[in-house]
Structures are given as structure tokens and as C-alpha cells.
Amino acid sequence: MRHTRIKELLSTAQAGQEALVKGWVRTKRGSKQVNFVALNDGSCIHNFQIVIDSDKVDAELLKRITTGACIAAKGLIVASQGSGQAFEMQATEVEVLGDCDNTYPLQKKGHSWEYLRDIAHLRPRTNTFGAIFRIRHNMAMAIHTFFHERGFYYFHTPLITASDCEGAGQMFQVTTKNLYNLQKDENGSIIYDDDFFGKQASLTVSGQLEGELAATALGSIYTFGPTFRAENSNTPRHLAEFWMIEPEVAFNDIVDNMDLAEEFIKYCVTWALEKCKDDVEFLNKMIDPELIERLNFVIKHNFVRLPYTEGIKILEDAIAAGHKFEFPVFWGCDLASEHERYLVEQHFKCPVILTDYPKEIKAFYMKQNDDGKTVRAMDVLFPKIGEIIGGSEREENYDKLLKRIEELNIPMKDMWWYLDTRKFGTCPHSGFGLGFERLLLFVTGMANIRDVIPFPRTPGRAEF
């Protein structure tokens, strides 16, 4: 007999049916005569109750059914007398597949997030992390479905890159050089000629530049892959290794880009509410009582769209009215998370898309506005998170782009292939990057980005 997964059993169970289930014991309680085992197999948030009469199984075997142990149980599905569930199993055969002694770190409930991060190899076995990682899977499916249904092609951009001009963040180097014996030239610079790639290489901070090559060939593409940033910022919203989704679309202008971003996020949030109902409800109950309300709010409301310059005015007015920020506000400043969250949570009480940022604080490839000061950038700002998406219309004019590259002293020899797109049949195009884990923060209600990725990489931490 093949075993049935608990999710399936719960949706198809009928009294009188025989079944075999396999999973990990969450709890065992009961009396001398009868034992109630709450079994979880990870297929869903719900446990399945296994009732074991003490006189039906060997006493030694019964002792081995402890919290954390892996068991297989066979028996009859019956209507449950208990209040927690409709059905339970009256076990006729029980086998311990894997014993678990009392050093198992998940004995009791209510561990701190920090403690659970230290046992990240086991935390998926908790209710909360089980729910989070099922939602994570579902969000990946939502993303692929969204783009696939709209005719976008999933394009794989490289993780190892030799152009350090992306400018989106500090890069991790990739080398096979012997670090104990580094050869340097007469200026003291490291010689990379004999390194694996014959030049300095790094892990990518964004797939965008290659994504643009694809968009100017396939029309509409997206990437979805790991991204690396060696920024030494220990915040609840930054990881050194995270996943990013980057659509890039030929012939889209900034407004089309905003429409796409808004439709995309709403699609993902709707998917979470519909397809991860049990897990989202669990998180709403246990983690964040306003979660579902917030998710529904985002789906129902149009995002506010506002130029950066007007955002700065609002923040300056707030300061004049007595509001205190940690970081200064002035035209030209890069907004800190506290500023973004003020606009979203206190001023508009709604997600905000901020556009037309000063060119000095944005990347070289963004389309320049006629004012000479701003670029056609757009950041989507969300409650509790701040920036969830960063994007722009791209500068498609060869001369303007080249001028900007020269102004910023970006090494040209690395950029020839990117500039070719503007030389050979250039076209208007736009795109953005969504941080997958920032989206997950939003749909799970979790507060720390370390808790929505299975094995977080942050400064000083790369265990598991």
C-alpha cells in the first residue's frame, strides 16, 4: 500500500477507508489505554491525528513514538470524537522509521526567531516555517504563471559576471587564485591574467543588463534567480544572497512599467490569499493579526503615483510639523526606509510608486528626463517594508547613454556589448527588479528577511 499525504487525506478522507500515512510526530498525549499522536508530513499546516490503543502495540515501540520521531501508521479512517478534526486514524500497525531522542531541539513551542535561525536545518519542521516555505514555493509558481500567461519568456542570465559596472551594490569576487600567494604588478594591483576567467570576476548583483539584451530580441522577458550583494548592512530587509525577479519589456514606457509592476504584485498577493489560504490564515492568527487585512487592502486599492520631488515636499512638511526622522531630508537625498515608510504608512496609507528621481542617486542606464536633473526611475514602496521594487525606463539613446557612462567614469571596455543594443536597432524599453524575499515578507507578515529564506546569508553568517 502506498502512503497518502495528509493534505490529500484531509480533502478526500471517508470513514471506513484504509490508509497509510508517514510523517513526523509533533506531539503524543493520552492515557494508559489510548495514545493520540499528532502527525505532520509537511504537505500542509494541519496535523493528522493517529489514535493508538496501548494494547494493540508493543510497549517498547510505543515509547519510541516521541516528538520529532518519524513514523508510518496504517489503519482505518474514522470520524473523530475530538473537536480538533473531522477524521482520525485508528491505527492497526505502527512502524518507527526514525527514532528521535530528547535532545531534539524542537521539544516545546515558543522558541525565539534567533534561536530558530541557529537551527535553520530543523526549523522547516515548525508550523510557522512550514507555512512560510510552502508560501515561498507558491509565490514562485505565481510569478512564473503570471509572466508565462502574458507571453514573457523566462531568460537565464549568468551568475558570474566580469563587468563590475552594474553599480547596484558591492560585489563578491570569484577567483581560483591562490590567496596565499597573490601576484601584483608594479602598481600593486593584483594580476588577474592567469585567473580562471583571465580577468576579475564577481557574482552578479542583477541580471538586468543581460535582461535588456534579451528584451531587445524576444520582446518581453523575465529573469528569476539568485543575486548577491556584499553590502555590510545588517538590516531586517537585506540579505547577501537573495532572489530577484526582473522583467524587461521592449516598447514599454515608464507608465506601462508601473502598470505591470502593480498588476504583478496584485496577482501574487491574490494567489497567496487564494492558493495558500490555510498557511496565510495560520500566520494571520499566530504572527500578524493584520496580515489578511493588509493583503486585501493592497489588492483593492490603486497605488499612489507621485514624483520624487513631491515626495520630498511631503517629508519636509512633516518635519516642519514636528515629525522626527533619523536621516536628513533634502532634494537630492536618497530616501531611507523610514522616509519611504512615512509616505506609505502615515501619509498616503497606501502603497506608493515614487518616480522621477534625481539622476545622481540612480543608475547610469535610466532614461534622462528633459529637465536635465531627473531620470525616469520608479520605486514601489510598501507598508512595513519600504522599497519592494526598483525599476525604470531605460535610456535608449546611444549618445546620451555614452555621455552618462563617461560622466560616471564607468570602464567602457566592459560595456561594449551593452552599448551594442543602442547601436543596432535600439528601442524604448523598461523593466524592474522585485526582491523575492521582500515580497515574501509582505505576504507572510514576517518581520525579518532572514526568516523567509531557508538558509540566510548575512554578514558573518553562512552556516548550513
**Contact positions vs ligand ATP (CB under 6 A):** 168-169, 229, 231, 238-239, 242, 244, 387-390, 433-435, 437-438
| Cβ at position 205, least distance to ligand ATP in Å | 7
Question: Residue 219 Cβ, how far from Mn ion at the closest point, in Å?
Answer: 25
CB of 105 or CB of 169, closer to ligand ATP? 169
Region binding Mn ion by CB under 5 A among candidate stretches 23-31, 125-133, 216-224, 387-395? 387-395
SS3 438: helix
Question: How many whole angstroms separate alpha carbon 430 and alpha carbon 250?
Answer: 7
Task: Choose the contact partner of 23 out of Mn ion, ligand ATP, none; CB within 5 to 8 A by kind.
Answer: none
Yes or no: say if 195 and 175 are a contact pair by the CB < 8 Å rule: yes
What residue 94 binds from ligand ATP, Mn ion, none (CB within 5 to 8 A, per partner kind)? none
Q: How far is the CB of 76 from ligand ATP (least distance, A)?
A: 49
Rounded to the nearest angstrom, the gap between the alpha carbon of residue 98 and the centroid of all alpha carbons in its chain is: 33
- Report what 395 binds from ligand ATP, Mn ion, none; CB cut-off 5-8 Å by kind: none
By CB under 5 A, name the one of 211, 390, 431, 456 that touches Mn ion: 390
- CA nearest to 333, candidates 308, 306, 307, 366: 308
Closest CB 51 distance from Mn ion, rounded Å: 55
Q: How far is the CB of 452 from ligand ATP (least distance, A)?
A: 10
Output the smallest distance, CB 105 to ligand ATP, in A: 28
Please give the span between the terminal C-alpha atoms of the chain, in angstroms, as a whole number: 36
Cα atoms in the 13 Å half-sphere on the side-chain side of 152: 27
Contact 42, 26 (CB under 8 A): no
Angle between helices 127-149 and 254-275 (to 10 degrees): 140
The site partner of 435 among ligand ATP, Mn ion, none (C-beta below 5 to 8 Å per kind) is ligand ATP
Binding of Mn ion at residue 247 (CB under 5 A)? no
Cα dihedral 24, 461, 446, 138, rounded to 10, equals: -60
The crossing angle, in degrees rounded to 10, of helices 436-444 and 291-300 is 120
Widest distance between CA atoms in the chain: 85
Q: Give the residue with the Cβ less far from Mn ion, 247 or 390.
A: 390
Provide the grid cell at 43: 504537505
Q: Which does 388 bind (CB under 5 to 8 A by kind): Mn ion, ligand ATP, none?
A: ligand ATP
Distance CA 219, CA 239 (A): 31
Query: Least Å distance between CB 244 and ligand ATP?
Result: 5
Distances in whole angstroms, Cα of residue 366 to Cα of each of 334, 371, 374, 431: 16, 14, 9, 10
Does 391 engage in binding with Mn ion (CB under 5 A)?
Answer: no
Q: Which stretch binds Mn ion (CB under 5 A): 103-111, 121-129, 171-179, 384-392?
A: 384-392
Residues that bind Mn ion (CB under 5 A): 390
